[in-house]
Structure 1
Amino acid sequence: MSISKNNSSIPQLILASTSKYRRELLERLRIPFEVISPKVAETPLTGESTLDLALRLAHAKAAAVAKEHPDAWVIGSDQVADLCGAAIGKPGNFESALAQLQLMRGQTVTFQTALCLMKCEIQTTLCVPTEVTFRKLSDDVLENYLLAEESYDCAGSAKSEGLGISLLESIKSDDPTALIGLPLIALTGLLRDAGFFIPVNNIQQ
């Protein structure tokens, strides 16, 4: 399939992720891509900041897949929620999620969403921060939310793209999809620089 006036072909693109949220976000750009699990351990290093952790993991995920697919552009991404310098992970269950929401109510949490686009020795890694302020809500409200949406697979325990928006007082970010898991404004710029045409011209030449 050709995508441009000079008939250049679509470069191969791989999303190094197991996240359904990142896959759904990338699908918005309507570019053909594959999804491959990077199989990268996400354990923080001793003394590592949340920003450094997010950047390191995004790069590591891209590198792990790029090593096996040297002809493809590979996207790696990672997100770490930061409350007063401490990382907040995925809760996994109701009790942990409730504890997270109780800890964050009335607080501002910075979600560090790192992005890496890599092909062989060519690579760009960056981070898009999002500041999220949580409302001061009662335990009953928090419990009702978790029972309704069961947001146990996302850091911070609240899905801003869903009912979780009702728990938030404000969101400050230059890239609104960063909070969901993949900063599409930043990614679109990187992909265009790499030779991708967005939107794609789907007319067969």
Structure 2
Amino acid sequence: MPITPTPPRPLVLASSSRYRLELLQRLQLPLTVAVPAVDETPQPGEAPRALALRLALAKARAVAQQQPQAVVIGSDQVADLQGSSLGKPGEHARAVAQLQRMRGQEVVFHTAVAVVCLDSGFEQLDLAAVRVRFRDLQDAEIERYLRAEQPYDCAGSAKSEGLGIALLESIDSDDPTALIGLPLIRTCRMLRAAGLVLP
């Protein structure tokens, strides 16, 4: 009697980020999206790197609790300016203030990714750190950029895949999609380890 192959586990992105969804769709895997109910408030004294790791894992675990058979991806990005966390500005004035603080500075964007499957007991967590050097930006440049891109849902107001690239002097990373919001090299490695077949 022939053995029926086990169907692949469903893949779920635990994120409301359209940037992460667009990146993950590059892998041409069937997937769904579920928005996790996770409080993203930093804990007192929490370092930017630790915040990104904690939130990525919390998002993946929250959705995995609801869909234990699925392979769930959670991710979070925190911009780190000399140990200070910069999140999504949410509105124009905060974005201006963030970019004014970052001009001429090196900022580390910590992008964490977690992959969790409760049924199989699989859980992995990793982080890509991207070092970004900002130009010594003029206030008029900041205003033109923000009016054009409105990157208020991007950590540190930095939308590097768009006009934000003109704000930068250099980018140093071993996982080039990490700055956009999801380190795909690490994500692919973790999905293979979880049993998914990728090209």
For the aligned pair, the TM-score class normalised by the smaller chain equals over 0.9
Counterpart-to-counterpart distance in 2, 1:109 and 1:125 = 22
TM superposition score normalised by structure 2: 0.94
What is the aligned residue count? 194
Counterpart-to-counterpart distance in 2, 1:78 and 1:155 = 9
Counterpart-to-counterpart distance in 1, 2:165 and 2:6 = 42
Map 1:93-172 to 2 at 5 A.
93-120=91-118, 121-172=121-172
Aligned AA (2:54): R
Residue 82 of structure 1 deviates from its aligned partner by 0.5
Identity of aligned residues (%): 57
Q: What residue is the counterpart of 1:202 in the other structure? A: none
TM superposition score normalised by structure 1: 0.91
Q: What residue is the counterpart of 1:50 in the other structure? A: 48
Residue 7 of structure 1 deviates from its aligned partner by 5.6
Residue 91 of structure 1 deviates from its aligned partner by 1.1
Q: What residue is the counterpart of 1:175 in the other structure? A: 175
Residue 141 of structure 1 deviates from its aligned partner by 1.1
2:22 to 5, 21, 24: 24
Residue 95 of structure 1 deviates from its aligned partner by 1.3
Structure 1 segments unaligned to the other structure (5+ residues): 1-5, 200-205
Greater share of helix? 2
CA contact (8 A) 2:122 2:194 kept: no
- Partner deviation per Cα, 1:144-184 (whole Å, 9 max, x = no partner): 11111111111111210001000000001110111111000
User: What is the alpha-carbon root mean square deviation over aligned residues?
Assistant: 1.2
Counterpart-to-counterpart distance in 1, 2:152 and 2:65 = 32
Aligned AA (2:192): R
Q: What residue is the counterpart of 2:185 in the other structure? A: 185
Q: What residue is the counterpart of 1:39 in the other structure? A: 37
